[in-house]
Structure 1
Amino acid sequence: MANLPFILPEILLNLDEFIELRRQIHAHPELGFEEKRTSELVAAKLAEWGYEVHAGVGRTGVVGTLRVGDGCRALGIRADMDALPIQENTGLPYASTCPGKMHACGHDGHTAILLAAAKYLAETRRFNGTLNLIFQPAEEGLGGAPAMLEDGLFERFPCDAVYALHNAPGLPVGCFALKEGAMAASSDSVDIRLAGVGAHGAMPSFGRDPIVAASSIVMALQTLVARNIPATEAGVVSVGSLHAGKTYNVIPEHAELKLTVRALSRDVHATLKQRLHEVVQLQAQSFGVAAEIDYRTISPVLVNTPDETRFMSALIREQTGAQCLIEPPQGMMGSEDFAWMLEKKPGCYVLLGNGTESRGGCMVHNPGYDFNDEALPVGASLWARLTENYLRA
C-alpha cells in the first residue's frame, strides 16, 4: 500500500475498514436506480458518524450533511454508486456475486473514498461551514444527476461549489489530472427509424428501400465532423447499430439505426445536432422514405470552472508537488453526467491515478477491471484536504 506524504495518517489508520467496505460493494453490484443495498449502506454509515441523512434523492441517491461552525459557506462533493451490465472475469475473491453485473468503472471505489473522507471529517471537524456529500445513482447513462437535480438537489442542499473525481487507469497512484474548461465530452444517443415500402427482392422498383437509405445515411453521417467542424475542434459521430429485414428476398418496410454523438464544446455539440437532423431528413427524402429521429442528450460537455479548478490545482501542488499534477490529453471523448451539476453550480472534476500496467492499469468498462485500493486513501485525503481548505475554519 502506497504511503505518500499527501495521505492523512487518520485515514491510513482506518484504511482496512474502507478497503473491506469497497470490496463488499464490489461483490454486490447494482445497476442504475437499483442501488438499494448500496444506498442503505451509505446512509447507515453517514448516520452512525453524525451526518444529517437524506435518502431517496433522485430515487436511490443519498445526501449526507454536516454543519460545523456558522455554516455560512457550503461545499458539495459527489460520488457515483452504480455498476455496469458486464460479466466480471477477474477471478478475485470479492468478485461480483451478481451474474451479468459488475463494478467495471470503479464507482465502488469512489463511494468508499467519499465514505472514508466522511468519517475523518466527522471525527476531526477542522472546518467551518456546511458539507454536503452527494452519493449519486445511475451515472452510467441513465440520468442519475438530472434525477437528483429534478428532486431539488441544490435547492434543498445549497452549495457554493461542487467537486467530483474519477479513477484513471494508466495514471500512477498519487497523481492527478485536471484542467480548466472542457474536461469530458457531451454524449448524445440517437435513434433513427426509417419507414419505406416493402417489396419483393426481385422487384425493388415496387418498393422504397429503407436499407439503401440507411446505408447512405451512415456514410453521410461520417461527413458531419469532417466537413462541418473545424479541424482544431473535437467531435465524434459513430453508428453502433443498423437493423433491417429478416430474410434474403424481401425488401423490408423499416430500418433502424442507433448512434452516439460526442463533442468537447457547446458550439460543436449544437452544430452536430442541427446538421444531423438536416442530413438524415434530406437523405431519407432523396430515397423516398420517411425518417423519425429521437435525439437525446445523455450528458452535456463537462466544463470545469476557472476559480474552482485553480483552487483544486493549487491544493494538489501544495500537498504533492507539481510533478503529481498533469493536464489530461486533448480529445478525451468520454462523458460524465456530473456535467449536469456543473451546469448549475461552479466546480471541478478531477482524475485520480488508479495505477499502471498490471496494478490498476486495466481500462474501465472492461470485464477484467478492478479499482486499485492503493488509490483509496489518496482520494479520501484529497476530499478531506479540500474540505478543510475550502471551508477554512
Structure 2
Amino acid sequence: MTLTHDAPPSASTAERPPRAKRIRTLVGWLVVAALVIGGAVLMLRVAVSAPAWRDALDPEGAGDTGAMALAEILRDQGVEVNVYRSRTEARAAIDDDTTLVMANPVSLSDDGVNELIEPADRVVFLSAGTHLLALLDMGDSAPGSSEAVTARCDVPEFAKTGSIRPDRLFSPTDGVEGCFGDSDAAAVLVDDEDGVRRSVVDGARLFSNAYLAENGNAALGLALLGQTDKVAWYVPSYDDTDIEAESPETLGSMTPDWLTPAILLLLLAGVAAALWRGRRFGPLVAETLPVTVRASETMHGRARLTAKAADSAHAAEALRDGSRRRLARRLGLAVTATPDEIADAASDRLRIPRGTLQTLLAGPLPADDPSLILFARQLTELETSIDASRTMPDTHTEDPRDR
C-alpha cells in the first residue's frame, strides 16, 4: 500500500485570490471615477454652450424673441453695432454718426429717458407703451388689423422696403409722419424736428429672430437702424434703473430705536422676578377642609326655613318641579317638556282620562300645610304608579266607552 500526500500550495498560488480581488476593486473604482469625470465634463460643456436667457429684442439673444439676427445683418452691411446695458455708457457712446436703439425703457423714469436720448440725432424705439408715446408726444395706440401694408409715406428710406404685417398700429399726432398704414393708424411713426429724428415701431414680431425673414421685415430694420455708421443698442433692465421705490411706512419704521431694547429688558426682568419669587413658594400642599356639609343637611335646612316662613306654596312648587323633571325622564320626554305634555303622557301611560293630571302638575298650588301634605302624597303616588306601569305587562283591553 502506497501512501500519497498532496503537495502544499505554493506561495504564488496562495497570493493569487487576494491580488485578483484587489485588481477587481481597483478597476471598479476607476470605472466610477471615469463616469464622474465624464458627467462633470458633459455638464460643463452643456453649461458653456447653452445660450444665456435674454429679454425680447435683445441684440445678443439667440432665441426666437431675441434680435441677434438683425444685429448680425447690420454688421454684415458695415454698421458697427455696440450693445450697452448701462444708460451712462450708452449716452457716452452717442455722437453725430450714431443711431440710438432701444426697446420700451420701462425701467427708466421720464427724466432718465429724456436724459438718455437728448444727445442723439436719431433714436429708434423698437417698442413703445402709451406712457412713452405721451412722453414723446408722438401719438397713441390705435386699433387695426394685421394685414400686409406698404410704406405709403414720404420717408425715402422706406421706398424699397416692401410690405410688412404689423402687430400693432399707432395713431400719429399732428406733425408726426405715419408710415405703413394711413393717417389714422400706422405701424411706424417718424418725427423729424430740428434735425432730430425719432421713430417708434412695435418690433416684437417684425424684428425678432423668428419673424425677421418674413415679408419686408429685414428691409425695414435696415431702413430704420442702418442709416448711420454706428448703432448704440441700449438694453433696458431693472438692474440699470433710476426709479427709486419708496417703501411704505411700517410699524417697525415708526417705532423709536429705544423701544425694542426696553421691551427686551422688561421681559428679562419679568423672567428673573418669576424665577426669584417662584423658588420661595415651594411645592403645593393639600389642605383638608375644616367642615364638610352634606347635601341632606342642606336639604333639611332649606325645609326648616320654608316651614318657619309658612310658605306652603313655595314648598309645593319645589316639590312639583322635581316631580315633573323625574316624570319627564321616566316617560321618555325631553327636559324642556311642558307640564301639559307630561300630564298627557302620564295619562296615556296610566290609561286614565286626559286632563285628569293637569290640575296636579300645572294647577294652583296649596295654601296651607294640610293641603301641602296631600299634594306631596299625590305626587308620590303618581310617580309610583308610573314606575309600576313600566314593569307591568300591558293587559289593557279596549273599553267601549273609549270609542
| TM-score normalised according to structure 2 size | 0.24
**By percentage of residues, which structure has more helix?**
2
| Higher alpha-carbon Rg | 2
For CA contacts below 8 A with separation 6 or more, give which structure has more relative contact order. 1
| TM-score normalised according to structure 1 size | 0.24
**By percentage of residues, which structure has more strand?**
1
